[in-house]
């Protein structure tokens, strides 16, 4: 027997549609904007974190992205979804930040959750067929982040959005203000590069 | 190609590890509060002029960003602006670069009615066969003159010769 879904009052911010929340937030309603932040904070934070490999930077950039979005709300025309528009702000902010700190990259990695050790894909990877079995997940996490940081910002962003976040090619093209062909070619090139950087963990023994 | 796809499949499996990286417990419980308190403290009131520029003209923001991250670029940009300015000044001061006088150019191609024709007592002669009326207005002087009934030149009766001789001899 499943638990009953909690009843959400449509008149409260939690029960409102995204478009209504945006309208209210544009009028300066902080409660409405708080709800929008809550809806997207995890995805925005995760994208920035995977780009920077640094929790403190991700925290600052995520907060600044939401603040900038609130400031720019009057200019939001509704041509795209709020979610795509917000992502675009976060993507631009992150890429600009990374260009500025190019020569002083410092990793501050988050811990792996409990489910990592039970993920079937990861378990399949850490099998007796690959050299990955030789290393622990934490070391693998370190190597993976180092490899990602070697990619250029646009290539890293495409891999993070598509292969880690599961965003579609179309949405990535809209978020990064480029065409879908560019997204596909960047993804292919980035994967090829990553494959080279992580050859000893990927290629069969 | 299939081998490459298989490798990408392994790579994508490896990338799934990133999904298990999580921030400290309870991090998202306070995140939105922090954002809202920063907004309420005044950070969200108005965009700075730089941010407005970035929103309205991304290319200008990109240029400013480029100047900030690569100081050498601003030197090159300033030098090219000065060179363009100097070239502009040199070209503008060359005497042969002055545009030809439009009236002179007209005179080369078409005969201008002589002053004598204007001062002639016979004003009907003002309407020349060329159809050009001498005038101080350079625009109207180039207009072909037609009469009310489309007859260019000639004495149509609309123009009458002025006579400066006294009507009476005083006798």
More confident residue, B107 or A136: A136
pLDDT score of B117: 45
Q: What value does the mean pLDDT take over residues B23-43?
A: 91
Of A25, A34, A13, A38, nearest to A73 by C-alpha is: A25
More confident residue, A26 or A102: A26
pLDDT score of A56: 93
- Please report the DSSP string for A53-86 in residue order: -BHHHHHHHHHHHHHHHHHHGGG--SSS-HHHHH
| Domain-embedded: residue B87 | yes
Mutate which of A107, A112, A184 to test chain B, going by most B C-beta atoms within 10 A?
A: A112
Residue range of the domain that includes B126: 102-142
List, for residues A70-122, the tens digit of each pLDDT value: 999 988 888 889 999 999 999 999 999 998 877 667 888 887 887 777 787 77
Q: Name residues whose C-beta falls within 8 Å of residue B36's C-beta, 6 or more positions apart in sequence.
A: A30, A33, A34, A37
| Domain-embedded: residue B116 | yes
Alpha carbon A184 to chain centroid, angstroms? 18
Alpha carbon A49 to chain centroid, angstroms? 7
Q: Which of A49, A96, A121 lies at the smallest CB-CB distance from B13?
A: A121
Residues 50-89 of B with CB under 8 A from A: 51, 55, 65, 68-69
Q: Which of A30-34, A49-53, A147-151, B38-42 has the lowest mean pLDDT?
A: B38-42
Residue A197 has pLDDT above 80, yes or no: yes
List, for residues B45-98, the tens digit of each pLDDT value: 655 666 666 666 667 777 777 777 777 888 888 899 999 999 999 998 887 655
Residue B10 has pLDDT above 90, yes or no: no
pLDDT score of B72: 84
| Domain-embedded: residue B28 | no
| Domain-embedded: residue B30 | no
In chain A, what percentage of residues exceed pLDDT 90?
58
pLDDT score of B131: 47
Whether chain B has a CB inside 8 Å of the CB on A12: the answer is no
CATH number of A1-109: 1.10.1740.10
Q: Which of A27-41, A185-199, B30-44, B64-78 has the lowest mean pLDDT?
A: B64-78
pLDDT score of B82: 94
* Predicted confidence band of residue A36 (pLDDT cuts 50, 70, 90): very high
CA distance A144 to A107: 12
Task: Work out the burial of residue A136: count CB atoms within 10 Å of its CB; fewer than 13 is exposed, 13-18 middle, 19 or more buried.
Answer: exposed
* Predicted confidence band of residue A202 (pLDDT cuts 50, 70, 90): confident
pLDDT score of A71: 92
Q: What value does the mean pLDDT take over residues A47-55?
A: 94
pLDDT score of B63: 77
Residue A63 has pLDDT above 80, yes or no: yes
Q: Which CATH architecture has domain A118-205?
A: Orthogonal Bundle (1.10)
| Domain-embedded: residue B156 | no
- Joined tokens for residue B134: 């001498």
Number of domains in chain B: 2
C-beta of residue A57 within 8 angstroms of C-beta of residue A149? no
Alpha carbon A163 to chain centroid, angstroms? 10
Show residues of chain A in contact with B28, CB under 8 Å.
41-42, 45
| Domain-embedded: residue B91 | yes
pLDDT score of B102: 53
* Predicted confidence band of residue A65 (pLDDT cuts 50, 70, 90): very high
| Domain-embedded: residue B138 | yes
Whether chain B has a CB inside 8 Å of the CB on A141: the answer is yes
CA distance B133 to B154: 13
* Predicted confidence band of residue B171 (pLDDT cuts 50, 70, 90): very low
Residue ranges of domains in chain A: 1-109, 118-205
DSSP H or E run through B20: none
- Joined tokens for residue B5: 């796809």
Tell me if A1-109 shares its fold with A118-205. no
pLDDT score of B51: 64
| Domain-embedded: residue B134 | yes
C-beta of residue A61 within 8 angstroms of C-beta of residue A93? yes
Task: Work out the burial of residue B102: count CB atoms within 10 Å of its CB; fewer than 13 is exposed, 13-18 middle, 19 or more buried.
Answer: exposed
């Amino acid at each position: 027997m499943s638990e009953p879904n909690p009843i959400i009052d449509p008149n409260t911010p939690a029960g409102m549609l995204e478009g209504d929340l945006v309208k209210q937030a544009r009028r300066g309603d902080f409660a409405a904007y708080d709800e929008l932040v809550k809806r997207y904070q995890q995805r925005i934070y995760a994208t920035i974190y995977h780009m920077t490999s640094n929790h403190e930077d991700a925290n600052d950039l995520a907060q600044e992205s939401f603040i900038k979005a609130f400031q720019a709300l009057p200019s939001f025309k509704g041509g795209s979804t709020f979610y795509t528009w917000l992502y675009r702000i976060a993507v631009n902010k992150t890429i600009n930040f990374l260009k500025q700190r190019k020569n002083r990259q410092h990793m501050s990695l988050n811990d792996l959750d409990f489910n990592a050790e039970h993920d079937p894909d990861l378990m399949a990877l850490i099998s007796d067929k690959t050299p990955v079995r030789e290393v622990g997940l934490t070391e693998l996490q370190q190597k993976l982040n180092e490899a990602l940081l070697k990619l250029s910002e646009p290539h890293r962003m495409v891999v993070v959005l598509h292969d880690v976040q599961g965003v579609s090619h179309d949405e990535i093209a809209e978020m990064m203000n480029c065409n879908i062909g560019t997204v596909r070619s960047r993804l292919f090139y980035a994967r090829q590069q990553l494959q080279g950087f992580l050859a000893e963990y990927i290629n069969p023994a | 190609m299939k081998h490459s796809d298989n490798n990408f499949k392994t790579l994508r499996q490896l990338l799934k590890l990133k999904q298990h990286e999580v921030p400290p417990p309870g991090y998202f419980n306070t995140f939105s509060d922090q954002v809202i308190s920063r907004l309420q403290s005044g950070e969200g009131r108005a965009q700075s002029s730089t941010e407005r520029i970035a929103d309205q003209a991304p290319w200008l923001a990109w240029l400013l960003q480029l100047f900030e991250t690569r100081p050498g670029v601003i030197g090159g940009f300033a030098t090219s602006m000065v060179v363009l300015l100097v070239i502009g000044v040199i070209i503008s001061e060359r005497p042969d670069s002055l545009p030809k006088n439009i009236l002179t150019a007209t005179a080369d191609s078409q005969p201008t009615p002589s002053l004598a024709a204007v001062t002639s007592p016979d004003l009907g002669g003002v309407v020349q066969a060329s159809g050009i009326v001498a005038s101080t207005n350079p625009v109207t002087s180039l207009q072909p003159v037609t009469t009310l009934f489309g007859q260019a030149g000639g004495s149509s009766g609309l123009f009458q010769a002025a006579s400066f001789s006294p009507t009476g001899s005083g006798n």
